[in-house]
């Protein structure tokens, strides 16, 4: 696809609609803190796009109105000065970048998926090398071939210096709790590489969403789909078998933090066949799942997440460019939490979980 | 079905499994407060069963292991001394009773559904008359015929003195936001009768739950199904058209309280066709939806619910006999909330929302 065609594409309207206008996204927040009190932030659900991967995006998110596609496209394609300017004006020291989904996860040809995943990881690596104090990366993986995905994860972590991987929900209808993915979890655990499970659409269209297109996506279905995906991992015993496996969920935990008590209460009496767990579900959720604040700038929800998941498991993120950086930055700068919690959420937990040890930030 | 057969039935294992043992459910809670500080409670997701409605229950919840069915059956069938004893020992002044679902909502013959709904409402009315200071009622309705359901709701509220109605999710695949149900919402709003939307199974089995029977039910799918049902009402404008319509959701709000900010943020950019709302989604959620604590005895979740929905919209409930009364009672007696909030949640909000004006409690 030519860049000219891309600019006319309907694809990026989702991004652009969410952005409002990209022109304002670099503005300082109303509640911006003085430089002397600057809160350095790491953000880790921050997306980019390359023209070669637009058709995957378009196949999954059709029926997008085209009018403001150009603005969203510009934000996603930009890995340079504008993105850095938005970060600087909002105190974001470091953005861990990931390809906007679903990417090769919907590629029918596994060999092509494997090849293109490597290609986009190499592309991202080169971009990171240009600005190593500002950008990190999450690997894009062809989950059609779990062993190959495990190898590519290792290459990205050990060879390219990435911080983890992002997987966009199910792959060909298969969720990550299936036995075939054990080879992947074993490697991820050995590498201590966190796996960000980002929302994707399921292969079916559940009846509860019928005739309600507004529920299909970030308003509702993505949270339920992704929260369920995480619970599948818990109940299938993935975290029991691989205690060092770590999943990251965005959007304040995809509804899970509110219901830990209920999971623990109902699991022992559920119709679980031969499934067993040595510990209550909440044990694995709190040990093996971390969450980000992407897309939920609410003090109330943050308080619930901190208390439910543990303050060491909650990390700031923006979901750029689908969410507004100034809004997210002002939220974490002014949230009614302790200063210790603010430091943990803004950067401390991300440094530990994503093993960010290099100097970061505009003055690094 | 004979009572003898019923006792051998697999049907009530769900209840019994959830109960633990009914023998212990009347025990005072470990943290029971002294009589001088007794917290009078109203509970409103409290179930009963009659032998005639067992086949509906069984059709929806098959594959239940039979071993302890007898215990659950006893608890559901009992509308007498044992139920009152459990209430008394745990400070429950008043239980608003509802038939354990799905009842006639899955009846194929609409005329039969209408007739049997009236019958069970009359049955419940007689039970309430025996103990009017201890029992209230939610109407059981044949939603296959919305106009008839509206009339039966009015009969139950005005004629039988019930406090509202309970609907167990979709009816023949139809959710309550469809235009055909406007006649029902108009009447419910005019009566100011709250409609408790209790979980039920959808007509399909979404792919995300495949091969995970433990997710199908109270662990996961019921919350997502019921939360979605409520959002359908919001986005279809039911509450905009009927400002006095009121829905009650159990289980700490079926995940909604955590995501109000996200609903407001994503709704304006969702693919919503011709749907419009004058106010943000959270406006209608807070004005028209109240929630109960049934099945979620967590201080963290309660704090989130109070702050998110407003303290005037959260009501204590147990989900008897599927949840343990002593656990739920001890939870609300000792929750880390203000004493004003405790009074609101324990009984104040229920008195207002369910219009409970008669004297209630063991000494009334």
pLDDT digits (tens, 9 = 90+) for B5-27: 333 344 444 444 444 334 334 44
Query: Span B46-52, mean pLDDT?
Result: 95
**Is the minimum CB–CB distance between B284 and chain A shorter than 8 Å?**
no
**Two structure tokens written together for A350:** 């991300």
**Burial class of B69 by CB neighbour count within 10 A (0 to 12, 13 to 18, 19+):** buried
Kindly report the nearest CA distance between residue B57 and chain A, in angstroms.
16
CB atoms B308 and A295 under 8 Å: no
Nearest residue of chain B to residue A323 (CA atoms): B265
Q: Which residue of B has its CA nearest to A230?
A: B208
The confidence band for B70, taking pLDDT boundaries of 50, 70 and 90, is low
Q: Which two tokens stand for residue B314?
A: 């959260």
3-state secondary structure of B353: helix
Q: What is the DSSP string of A60-113?
A: HS-S---TTHHHHHHHHH--SHHHHHHHHHTTEEEEEEEE-S-GGGG-S-HHHH
Binary contact (A265, B297; C-beta < 8 A): yes
Q: Identify whether the C-beta of residue A191 lies closer than 8 Å to the C-beta of residue A158.
A: yes
Distance CA A151, CA B153 (A): 62
One pLDDT digit (tens) per residue for chain A, 364 residues: 333 333 334 444 444 444 433 433 444 444 444 444 689 999 999 999 999 998 887 777 655 545 445 567 789 999 999 999 999 999 999 999 999 989 999 999 999 999 999 999 999 999 999 999 999 999 999 999 999 999 999 999 999 999 999 999 999 999 999 999 999 999 999 999 999 999 999 999 999 999 999 999 999 999 999 999 999 999 999 999 999 999 999 999 999 999 999 999 999 988 888 899 999 999 999 999 999 999 999 999 999 999 999 999 999 999 999 999 999 999 999 999 999 999 999 999 999 999 999 999 999 9
Do A232 and B224 count as a contact with CB atoms less than 8 A apart? no
B228 with A229: Cβ contact below 8 A: no
Asked if the model's pLDDT at residue B46 lies above 70, the reply is yes
CA–CA distances in Å: residue A246 to residues A186, A189, A193, B16: 11, 7, 7, 36
- Per the document, the length of chain B is 364
A172-184 pLDDT, tens digit each:
999 999 999 999 9
Candidate from A29-33, A169-173, B114-118, B219-223 with smallest mean pLDDT: A29-33
Q: Does A179 touch chain B (CB under 8 A)?
A: no
Q: How many CA atoms lie within 13 A of A277 on its CB side?
A: 27
Interface of A with B in 19-48 (CB under 8 A): none
Interface pTM, i.e. ipTM: 0.92
Q: Which residue has the higher pLDDT, A109 or B269?
A: A109
Q: What is the CA angle B93-B94-B96, rounded to 5?
A: 160
d(CA B36, nearest CA chain A) in Å? 30
Q: Does position B264 have pLDDT exceeding 70, yes or no?
A: yes
Tokens of B280: 């943000």
The structure's pTM equals 0.92
A61 versus B111: which is more confidently predicted?
B111
pLDDT attached to residue B134: 98
At B61, phi and psi to the nearest 5? -120, 70
Q: What pLDDT is recorded for position B16?
A: 41
**Nearest-Cα residue of chain A relative to residue B172:** A207
Of B203, B216, B235, the CB nearest to A207: B203
Kindly report which listed range (B99-103, B167-171, B262-266) carries the lowest average pLDDT score. B99-103
In the predicted model, is pLDDT for residue B299 greater than 70? yes
- Residue A36: predicted pLDDT: 47
Count CA atoms within 13 Å of residue A213 on its CB side.
13
Q: Give yes or no for a contact between A318 and A328, defined as CB atoms under 8 angstroms apart.
A: yes
> For B189-196, what is the mean pLDDT?
98
For B202, which of A203, A208, A252 is closest by C-beta distance?
Answer: A208
CB spacing of A301 vs B304 below 8 angstroms: yes
Q: Which residues numbered 67-106 in B keep a CB inside 8 Å of some CB on A?
A: none
Residues of B whose CB is below 8 A from A232: 208, 212, 215
Q: Is B319 a catalytic residue?
A: yes
pLDDT at residue A106 in the model: 94
pLDDT grade for B74, boundaries at 50, 70 and 90: confident
Residue contact A270–B218, C-beta within 8 A: yes
In sequence order, what are the residues at sequence separation of 6 or more whose Cβ sits closer than 8 angstroms to the Cβ of residue A301?
Answer: A252, A257, B258, B259, B261, B304, B308
Q: How far apart are CA A8 and CA A17, in angstroms?
A: 15
Taking contacts as CB-CB distances below 8 angstroms, the residues of chain A near B270 are 213-215, 217-219
CB A47 within 8 A of CB A321: yes
Quote the pLDDT of residue A273.
Answer: 84
């Amino acid at each position: 696809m030519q860049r000219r065609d891309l600019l006319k594409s309907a694809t990026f309207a989702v991004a652009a609609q969410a952005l409002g206008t990209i022109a304002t996204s670099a503005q300082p927040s109303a509640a911006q803190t003085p430089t002397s009190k600057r809160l350095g932030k790491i953000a880790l659900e921050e997306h980019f796009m390359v023209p070669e991967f637009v058709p995957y995006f378009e196949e999954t998110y059709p029926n997008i109105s085209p009018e403001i596609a150009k603005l969203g496209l510009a934000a996603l394609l930009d890995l340079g000065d504008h993105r850095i300017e938005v970060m600087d004006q909002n105190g974001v020291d470091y953005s861990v970048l990931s390809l906007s989904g679903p990417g090769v996860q919907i590629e029918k040809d596994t060999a092509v998926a494997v090849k293109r995943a490597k290609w986009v990881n190499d592309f991202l690596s080169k971009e990171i090398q240009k600005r190593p104090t500002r950008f990190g990366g999450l690997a894009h993986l062809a989950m059609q071939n779990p062993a190959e995905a495990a190898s590519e994860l290792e290459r990205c972590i050990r060879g390219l210096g990435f911080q983890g991987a992002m997987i966009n929900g199910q792959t060909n209808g298969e969720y990550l709790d299936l036995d075939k993915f054990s080879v992947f979890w074993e490697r991820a655990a050995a590498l201590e590489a966190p796996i960000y499970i980002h929302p994707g659409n399921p292969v079916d269209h559940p009846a509860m969403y019928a005739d309600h297109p507004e529920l299909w996506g970030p308003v509702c279905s993505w949270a339920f789909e992704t929260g369920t995906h995480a619970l599948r991992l818990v109940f299938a015993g993935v975290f029991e078998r691989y205690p060092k496996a770590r999943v990251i969920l965005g959007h304040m935990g995809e509804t899970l933090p509110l219901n830990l008590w209920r999971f623990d209460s109902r699991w022992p009496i559920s119709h679980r066949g031969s499934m067993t767990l040595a510990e209550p579900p909440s044990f694995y959720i709190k040990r093996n799942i971390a969450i980000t604040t992407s897309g939920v700038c609410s003090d109330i929800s943050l308080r619930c997440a901190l208390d439910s998941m543990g303050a060491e498991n909650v990390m700031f993120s923006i979901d750029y460019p689908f969410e507004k950086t100034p809004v997210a930055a002002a939220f974490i700068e002014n949230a009614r939490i302790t200063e210790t919690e603010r430091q943990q959420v803004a950067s401390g937990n991300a440094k530990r979980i994503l093993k960010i040890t290099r100097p970061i930030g505009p003055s690094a």
